[in-house]
Amino acid sequence: MLIKTPSPSAARECDVTPEAHYLSRRRFMGAAGAALAMGALPARAEAERYAGVELGATPAWFTEKLPEIRWQAVTAGEEALTPYADVTHYNNFYEFGTSKGDPARYADKLVIEPWSVMIDGEVARPGPVSLEQLVQPHRLEERIYRLRCVEAWSMVIPWLGFPLAELLKRAEPTGKARYVRFETQLAPEQMAGVRSGFSLIDWPYVEGLRMDEAMHPLTLMAVGLYGRVLPNQNGAPLRLVVPWKYGFKSIKSIVRISLVAERPQTTWEKLAPDEYGFYANVNPQVDHPRWSQATERRLPNSLFSPNVIDTRLFNGYEEVASLYSDLDLRKYY
Ligand code: MTE
């Protein structure tokens, strides 16, 4: 990853409050059957939660899903949510530039309607699927996950999505499917980072998982966060979230999902195989060649309050350990 000296987060103490309100209000919505569409929340509550952040329109396919959301299907214990402003303004989405603020600044150029995803490869039911069709059969769940970037910063984010396993089962993988390959939209006219002659990345952005990783119940296809549809800078309209792996595995704005027999070559592994492995499991014992992975900077933080915490193996999701029982994690990093 192209690393720059991290700039301290812009979040202030007062930005944290809306996230506490978010949780209590959302619990209320869950108890009430969550029959309210987000647009129906009192205007003041809305203004508080998304303090100072411009919100886009909510598409009908998303609003229809709201009454049935399974709130807090997974939580992060007592860990505080990272404020909405940081989650949506401190991003990595190199298609829109390499600065943390570039995605929020430029990703509105990404055209997400209409959106379709090609599902192909080793499946009995290949073909293009519109986003609406793809999401329709699934009940959305809120999953509060830690996100640990390989650059040694982290966040806690309330995603909305559904298990990738459900989507893959619908495509009916054949016996030859051993890996899943994901590809991000490639639209140079909308993506300043792709047009820039300085990028070393071989676009489109590609990621991959082993089949058992893809089928693990924690692996999520996200379509929203903080009770809202995904902002473009976070990978609208559909992204992967694999909470026990470094953030670069969680590929954004997916247009193609292929089930394949061979291990796919992924973007960062291709660029710097000594630094970024295919597995990319969060591991405090295996340092990046240029920095330690033993600790992480939890956002929000500042120069005076660096908020450095210990990094945990598999980002604290020990339940995945059995996937790697026969793997030397130092070799297969
Ligand atoms: N997906 C694409 N297509 N392009 C990217 O540059 N960056 C990755 C990942 N997915 C990236 C991507 C990295 S390095 C991280 S840490 C996470 O997205 C960041 O997700 P966030 O911006 O929603 O926090």
Domain ranges of the chain: 72-323
Query: Quick check: CB of 19 below 6 Å from ligand 1?
Result: no
Contact 93 CB / ligand 1 (< 6 Å)? yes
The pLDDT of residue 297 is above 60: yes
Q: What is the pLDDT of residue 1?
A: 72
What distance in Å separates the CA atoms of residue 228 and residue 164, rounded to the nearest whole number? 20
**Res. 131: pLDDT tops 50:** yes
pLDDT of residue 199: 87
Residue of 86, 92, 150 with the most ligand 1 atoms within 8 Å of its CB, for mutation = 92
Q: Give 72: exposed, middle or buried? Use CB within 10 Å, 0-12, 13-18, 19+.
A: middle
Is the pLDDT at 116 greater than 50? The verdict is yes
Is the shortest distance between the CB of 86 and ligand 1 below 6 Å? no
Torsion of CA 195, 225, 181, 295, to 10 degrees: 90
Using the predicted structure, report yes or no on whether residue 296 has a pLDDT greater than 50.
yes
How much is the pLDDT for 181? Answer: 99
Torsion of CA 108, 113, 114, 120, to 10 degrees: 50
pLDDT at 83 over 90: yes
> What percentage of the chain reaches a pLDDT higher than 90?
82
The pLDDT tens digits of the residues spanning 187-218 come to 999 999 999 988 899 999 999 999 999 999 99
pLDDT in tens, 151-183: 999 999 999 999 999 999 999 999 999 999 999
- Sheet containing strand 179-184, edge to edge, reads 127-130, 116-121, 254-260, 179-184, 206-210
Using a 6 Å cutoff on CB, does residue 251 contact ligand 1?
Answer: yes
Pocket test for ligand 1, best of 246, 250, 276 (most atoms within 8 A of CB): 250
Cα–Cα–Cα angle for 19, 21, 22, rounded to 5 degrees: 60
107: confidence class by pLDDT, cuts 50, 70, 90 = very high
* 316 Cα–ligand 1 center, Å: 20
- DSSP letter string over 70-93? EEEEE--TTPPPPPHHHHTTS---
Q: Omega before 137 cis (within 30°)?
A: no
Q: How far is the CA of 29 from the centre of ligand 1 (A)?
A: 30
Cα 154 to ligand 1 centroid, rounded to whole Å: 12
Question: What residue's CA is closest to ligand 1, atom 19?
Answer: 92
Mean of the per-residue pLDDT values of the chain: 89
CATH of 72-323 among 3.60.150.10, 3.20.20.80, 2.40.50.1020, 3.90.420.10: 3.90.420.10
Tell whether omega for the bond before 114 is within 30 degrees of 0, i.e. cis: yes
SS3 assignment, position 32: coil
Residues 120/126, Cβ–Cβ less than 8 Å: yes
Q: Could you tell me the distance, in angstroms and rounded to a whole number, from the CA of residue 77 to the centre of ligand 1?
A: 24
Asked if pLDDT for residue 329 goes beyond 60, the answer is: yes
Mean pLDDT of 252-257: 99
Per-residue pLDDT reduced to its tens digit, 15-57 = 444 576 566 655 544 443 333 334 334 444 454 556 666 677 8
Question: Given this model, what pLDDT does residue 24 score?
Answer: 60
Q: Over range 138-158, report the average pLDDT.
A: 98
Q: Residue 247: how many CA atoms within 13 Å on its side-chain side?
A: 23
